[in-house]
């Protein structure tokens, strides 16, 4: 179905006249090199019509804004009016801003603490699921939260942890007459962390399972014959053979945890002003509020500086992860 | 037929894994494992129950929800939906979300597929560089491009516009879609393309008449993954759209939540709103779930 819809846009030009398209000079030089079959030569001529649209859209709407962010972060700018070049001043300013430090700290908490919890749980679940009866059903169910907008969990949490909400009514028969104020400003962020662990673990379990499922069963049989304990099997078979999948998951979590925004924004229902309490801010929320909340003069410079720092954090971590996880790939 | 190779590589080992469990392995059961299995099923049951509970609450009015959160609806009362639909502006928002999601996902795949095909079939320094260039975008979080994008689109009057939002979604989705489809096209057999080429089919012809039909499965997977991410996208929509009649569902939901701090919580309407956001995802998942998880793990696990 999609195919029919898509075709006229992608292929219109080359369909009419693939021959008449004059390729870029570089291409033709490559094409005339001996050794390529004629289909390869022809294929190379498709560079502009095939790669062009994707390249242009991606560059204009993604790469240019990303570079623009670095540019804006070097200026003092309120969104309109003149931009004033201030060099690295914005970075110095946000590092002296208590609010930014706590927001960035929260992002780090999500990245490392929530990340660790998710990985331990997901790996444990993978081991349990590996040869469990009904594993497909279980896996399909725990994957589903990944498809739901995090807003939904934030709103539901507001209902569940209300003073008169479900949690307290469940605790009352257990003798808890004075339950903690779940949605007090200081308690929101820990609750967000717990919620994220609950809703994200299933996704990573699914990915890890795809890795564990690739391990041929005769390795396990060999373990059983050799009398390896469950721990030894884990240490010498499962872990080394799924190491690359772990690496991929770690990179995925690094990238996705730094942009967490929605769930913080509405968690427990908003606190009146439309902006969540500062104790629960993440770096992404800091960026958004500083630029668009309309509460104070927009500080585009500081806001983008915060975002650029998040990007730097991701880049450093991804490079480190690749280094740390790089081992000889085990072929099996 | 269309994706036999992919399916073969993905499902074959798994099937062997299940059938080939040797007796030596089957006997192993420990207490820890038993507890693990029990806990896992508990999680599964709670997840399903939570979903059912949420849908059930959407049919009850706010007072009875608050009085007894465990109750079941006494009648099929669509009042909450009607209220969310009219007061919460969910009608317009649903339409906007639907339009944006479908249009941007179709265009994303239509634009990314030829690009991915080229990158997967031509191997030289230029394409390797281009692949890297596209992968770069996978690591850039949305908040980085948020402000420059707003400024740029504002200059060309594309903020607060569904067209602008669509363009942004297409651009932002390029890295992942190109990446996924490149991996997919690589997994397809080359023989048929070569045979077609020998028969005198043009390069474009082999793509259009041989590879695309073969790749139908992968392209549908990419499309569904885009549908999911565009349906749920919040931060960019929240930034780029300002007027109520342009809101997409997540933005409408946020504004509905924020209205309630002034007008008192309308949990019935809120639950109805949540159901409108979640239900399409559930339908897609039940319908195409297997393809989805396979697509994700193909893109990620390798």
DSSP conformation class of A21 = P
Topology adopted by domain B4-8+78-301: MetI-like fold (1.10.3720)
Put simply, the answer to whether B54 touches A284 (Cβ < 8 Å) is no
- Alpha-carbon span B132 to B135, nearest angstrom: 5
B250 interfacial to chain A (CB closer than 8 Å): yes
Q: Do B113 and A10 touch (CB under 8 A)?
A: yes
Residues in B touching A217 (Cβ below 8 Å): 16-17, 20-22, 25
Check if B277 contacts A (Cβ < 8 Å): yes
Residue A302 corresponds to which tokens in the numbers above? 């500081």
Domain boundary assignment for chain A: 2-55, 89-325
CATH class of the structural domain A89-325: mainly alpha
Collect all residues with Cβ–Cβ distance below 8 Å to A149 and sequence separation of at least 6.
A262, B231, B232, B234, B250, B277, B278
pLDDT per residue as tens digits for the range A75-107: 888 777 777 788 788 888 888 888 888 889 999
Nearest CA in chain B to A155: B257
| Kind and range of the H or E run holding A85 | strand A84-85
From first to last of the 302 residues of chain B, give the pLDDT tens digit.
333 334 434 444 444 444 445 444 544 557 777 888 888 888 889 888 888 888 888 887 777 777 777 777 776 677 777 777 777 678 888 889 999 999 999 999 999 998 988 888 888 888 888 888 888 888 888 889 988 888 888 888 888 888 989 999 999 999 988 988 888 888 787 888 778 877 877 778 888 888 888 888 888 888 888 898 899 998 899 888 888 888 888 988 888 887 776 666 777 788 888 888 898 888 888 888 777 777 666 655 44
Residue A240 to chain B, least CA–CA distance (Å): 15
| Residue B282 with chain A: CB contacts under 8 Å | 144, 147
Q: Which of A53, A28, A52 is nearest to A42 (CA)?
A: A28
- Please check whether residue A73 is in contact with residue A90, taking contact to mean a CB–CB distance below 8 angstroms: yes
Give the tokens for residue B93.
Answer: 């928002």
Residue A76 carries which DSSP code?
E
Partner residues linked to A75 by β-bridges = A85
Size of interface A-B (CB pairs under 8 A): 326
Contact present, A79 and A291 (Cβ < 8 Å): yes
In this complex, is the C-beta atom of B28 within 8 Å of any C-beta atom belonging to chain A?
Answer: yes
Chain B's closest residue to A143, CA to CA, is B293
Are A159 and A105 in contact by the 8 Å Cβ rule? The answer is no
Q: Are B171 and A283 a contacting pair at CB < 8 A?
A: no
Domain boundaries, chain B: 4-8+78-301
Structure tokens at A61: 């709407």
Predicted confidence at residue A33, as pLDDT, reads 44
- Half-sphere CA count of B69, side-chain side, radius 13 A: 17
DSSP H or E stretch at residue B194: helix B191-198
Write the DSSP assignment of A23-34 as a string of letters. Answer: PPHHHHHHHTST
State which residue of chain B sits closest to A208, comparing Cα positions: B301
pLDDT (tens digit per residue) in A34-85: 445 666 777 777 778 888 888 999 998 888 998 988 888 888 887 777 777 8
Whole-complex ipTM: 0.79
A283 to B143: CB separation less than 8 angstroms, yes or no? yes
Query: Do A318 and A251 form a contact (C-beta atoms < 8 A)?
Result: yes
Contact residues on chain B for A164, CB-CB shorter than 8 A: 66
Q: Give B-chain residues touching A51 at CB under 8 angstroms.
A: 114-115, 118-119, 130
Burial (CB count <10 Å: 0-12, 13-18, 19+), residue A62: buried
Cβ separation of A43 and B33 shorter than 8 Å? Answer: no
Please name the residues between 148 and 167 in chain B that touch chain A, using a CB distance below 8 Å: 148-152, 167
User: Which tokens belong to B130?
Assistant: 């281009």
Q: Is the pLDDT of residue A20 over 50?
A: no
Gap between the Cα atoms of A307 and A66, Å rounded: 10
**Structure tokens given for B278:** 């979640």
């Amino acid at each position: 179905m999609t195919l029919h819809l898509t075709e006229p846009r992608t292929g219109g030009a080359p369909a009419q006249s693939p021959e008449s398209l004059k390729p870029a000079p570089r291409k033709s030089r490559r094409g005339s090199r001996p050794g390529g079959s004629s289909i390869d030569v022809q294929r190379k001529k498709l560079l502009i019509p095939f790669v062009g649209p994707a390249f242009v859209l991606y560059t204009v709407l993604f790469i240019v804004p990303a570079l623009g962010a670095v540019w804006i972060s070097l200026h003092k700018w309120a969104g309109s009016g003149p931009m004033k070049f201030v060099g690295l001043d914005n970075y110095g300013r946000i590092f002296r801003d208590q609010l930014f430090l706590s927001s960035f700290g929260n992002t780090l908490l999500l990245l490392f603490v929530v990340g660790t919890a998710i990985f331990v749980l997901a790996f444990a679940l993978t081991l349990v699921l590996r040869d469990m009866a009904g594993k497909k059903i279980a896996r399909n169910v725990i994957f589903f939260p990944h498809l739901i907008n995090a807003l939904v969990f934030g709103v539901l949490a507001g209902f569940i942890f209300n003073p008169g909400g479900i949690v307290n009514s469940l605790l009352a028969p257990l003798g808890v007459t004075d339950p903690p104020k779940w949605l007090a400003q200081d308690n929101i962020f820990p609750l967000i962390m717990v919620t994220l662990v609950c809703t994200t673990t299933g996704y990573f379990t699914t990915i890890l399972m795809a890795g564990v499922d690739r391990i041929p069963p005769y390795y396990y049989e060999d373990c059983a014959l050799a009398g390896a304990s469950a721990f030894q099997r884990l240490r010498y078979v499962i872990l080394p053979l799924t190491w690359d999948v772990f690496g991929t998951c770690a990179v995925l979590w690094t990238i996705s945890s730094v942009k967490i925004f929605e769930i913080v924004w509405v968690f427990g229902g908003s606190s009146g002003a439309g902006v969540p309490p500062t104790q629960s801010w993440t770096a992404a929320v800091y960026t958004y509020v500083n630029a668009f909340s309309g509460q104070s003069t927009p500080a585009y410079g500081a806001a983008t500086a915060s975002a650029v720092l998040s990007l730097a954090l991701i880049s450093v971590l991804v490079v480190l992860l690749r280094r740390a996880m790089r081992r000889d790939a085990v072929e099996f | 037929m269309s994706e036999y190779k992919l399916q073969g590589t993905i499902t074959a080992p798994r099937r062997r894994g299940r059938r080939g469990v040797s007796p030596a392995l089957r006997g192993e059961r420990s207490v820890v494992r038993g507890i693990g299995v029990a806990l896992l099923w508990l999680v599964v049951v709670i997840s399903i129950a939570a979903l059912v509970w949420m849908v059930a609450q959407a049919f009850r009015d706010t007072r009875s929800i608050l009085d007894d959160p465990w109750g079941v609806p006494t009648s099929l009362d669509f009042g909450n939906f009607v209220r969310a639909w009219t007061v919460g502006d969910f009608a317009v928002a649903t339409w906007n979300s639907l339009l944006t999601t479908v249009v941007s996902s179709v265009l994303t795949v239509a634009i990314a597929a030829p690009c991915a095909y080229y990158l997967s079939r031509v191997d030289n320094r230029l394409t390797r560089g281009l692949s890297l260039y596209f992968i770069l975008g996978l690591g850039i979080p949305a908040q980085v491009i948020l402000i420059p994008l707003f400024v740029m689109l504002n200059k060309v009057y594309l903020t607060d516009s569904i067209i602008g939002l669509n363009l942004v979604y297409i651009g932002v989705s390029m890295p992942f879609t190109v990446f996924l489809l490149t991996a997919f096209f690589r997994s397809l057999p080359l023989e048929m393309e070569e045979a077609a080429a020998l028969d005198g089919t043009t390069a474009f012809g082999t793509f259009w008449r041989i590879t695309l039909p073969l790749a139908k499965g992968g392209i549908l997977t990419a499309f569904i993954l885009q549908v999911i991410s565009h349906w749920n996208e919040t931060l960019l929509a929240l930034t780029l759209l300002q007027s109520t009649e342009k809101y997409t569902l997540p933005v409408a939901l946020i504004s509905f939540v924020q209205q309630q701090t002034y007008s008192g919580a309308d949990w019935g309407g809120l639950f109805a709103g949540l159901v409108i956001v979640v239900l399409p995802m559930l339908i897609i998942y039940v319908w195409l779930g297997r393809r989805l998880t396979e697509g994700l793990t193909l893109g990620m696990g390798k």
